[in-house]
Amino acid sequence: MISFFNDYKIPIIVFLFFCTIQQANANEIVLEKNFAGYFDSDGIYTVVGKINNAQEYPVIPIITITIEDNASIISESYQLSTIYPTSDQPFKFKFPQVVSTNPTLKEPRILFNAVENKMPLNVEVIYDDTLVTHKDGHKTGRIINNGDKTVENVKIYALIYDSNWKLLDMGKNIEMIKKIEPGQIVDFSMYPDPLFGSQAQYYSCFVIGDEAIIPVNTIRHGKEYNYRYDSGIWFAYPEFNEDGTSLLMKMQNSWPLEMYANFEFPKLSDVEKFEVYLNNEQIKSIQSIDEFGNWHVAFVMAPHTSGNLLINGFGESVKTQQKDDVNTIQNNNDYLYYVGGIISAAIIAGTFVFYRNKRKIPKV
């Protein structure tokens, strides 16, 4: 059902320069009658489904979801990752602006960009007795790199069904899989929304990808400001304060485990020092700078956490720096391993999709 393989060992770079926008029709991008809307365990209206690519070349879809909510019409557009020919891709989006108890979900509209020079990954799920659906509805299994290249930032997705193959949800691996070497086998796990824990029976046709870093466009000082993040946590509605030093957004971690988040911000000055607050309480974060000169701010959220997330420190000038910042790690790989260690510890001690923000995708 699902397949959304992507490139190997290359950082996620804007590749729309190689794309040509086209209008989808019945024999091109096909949206199967397999999408659904539901209120999740936190009462937020959520839409899940899948897209099939009937073209003979890879495409990047842009999907528009429309919901009738009493007298209001809610319409949001999202760019997804590459879908290869004869393959499918799942999607999952949240709509907290829905206020009625019985909204009407319209059939989504799809446009797409044709992509050149894209090859699927050689990473596959191992279908043996290690692929298990547990009593609480979560799934564990293993993936293997069958290629001869190192693959980085691997993501695993699957649609989740009940015993009658009714679509319930979309799952995503909860672990940070930073890289997988040729021949290497790596464990993964994914969870349904807690609402469906007792109903989840089938995880259908897994997807392996590495393009799930989510781009965000917002406004700072009257100009477009672009950043990215990688997380299974839902973030939405980013907005800078008047002086452009603080970024406020909504967040939700619906899952029963700690989840990581890694934000990548363009550097505005050499002395930017970021602090992260959830509902006015500061949380521990790790700051670093990568080889491209971008700041990274990484942190972990507790299970079933939601509220207002505030990140301070954009463009601020610091008069004095009298001591080293113990939360700053100069090597980008260090903080990734650190966050990965926190996640692994949470998995061992405690016992996951998908995200995305409210900003519309600009027309190509």
At 86-114, the pLDDT tens digits run: 788 888 888 888 999 999 999 888 888 78
Q: The domain spanning residue 100 has which CATH number?
A: 2.60.40
Q: Is 141 found in the same domain as 72?
A: no
Residue 323 has pLDDT above 60, yes or no: no
240 vs 218: CA distance, rounded Å: 8
Q: 230 in a domain, yes or no?
A: yes
Q: Is 263 found in the same domain as 199?
A: no
Residue 150 has pLDDT above 60, yes or no: yes
Residue 17 has pLDDT above 90, yes or no: no
Residue 61 has pLDDT above 90, yes or no: no
Residue 48's pLDDT band (cuts 50, 70, 90) = very high
Q: Which is it for the CA torsion 189, 144, 119, 179, positive or negative?
A: positive
Last residue of a domain, one of 209, 230, 264: 209
Last residue of a domain, one of 153, 180, 209: 209
Angle at 33 between CA 84 and CA 38, to 5 degrees: 105
Q: Is 243 found in the same domain as 165?
A: no
Name the token pair of 241. 């304060």
Helix or strand run (H / E) with residue 340: helix 332-350
CA-based end-to-end distance of the chain: 28
The per-residue pLDDT for range 207-229, each reduced to its tens digit, is: 776 555 677 889 999 898 989 88
Quote the pLDDT of residue 60.
79
Q: Is 186 found in the same domain as 102?
A: no
Q: Is 167 found in the same domain as 136?
A: yes
Tell me what the mean pLDDT of segment 174-178 comes to. 81
Q: Give the residue with greater pLDDT, 320 vs 192.
A: 192
- Pair 188, 142: CB distance under 8 Å: yes
Q: 128 in a domain, yes or no?
A: yes
92 vs 356: CA distance, rounded Å: 9
Q: Is 202 found in the same domain as 218?
A: no
The per-residue pLDDT for range 265-285, each reduced to its tens digit, is: 999 999 999 999 999 999 999
Q: In total, how many domains does the chain have?
A: 3
Tell me what the mean pLDDT of segment 154-171 comes to. 90
User: Which range (239-248, 259-268, 315-324) has the least confidence?
Assistant: 315-324
Please state, rounded to an integer, the average pLDDT across all residues of the chain.
77
Last residue of a domain, one of 148, 177, 209: 209
Quote the pLDDT of residue 316.
62
Q: 7 in a domain, yes or no?
A: no
Q: 359 in a domain, yes or no?
A: no
Residue 115's pLDDT band (cuts 50, 70, 90) = confident
Q: 355 in a domain, yes or no?
A: no
Residue 160's pLDDT band (cuts 50, 70, 90) = very high
Q: Is 59 found in the same domain as 179?
A: no
Tell me what the mean pLDDT of segment 75-95 comes to. 83
Q: Give the residue with greater pLDDT, 78 vs 134.
A: 134
Quote the pLDDT of residue 113.
77
Q: 235 in a domain, yes or no?
A: yes
Q: Is 192 found in the same domain as 135?
A: yes
Q: Which domain covers residue 100, as residue numbers?
A: 16-114
Q: Chain centroid to CA 123: how far? A: 19
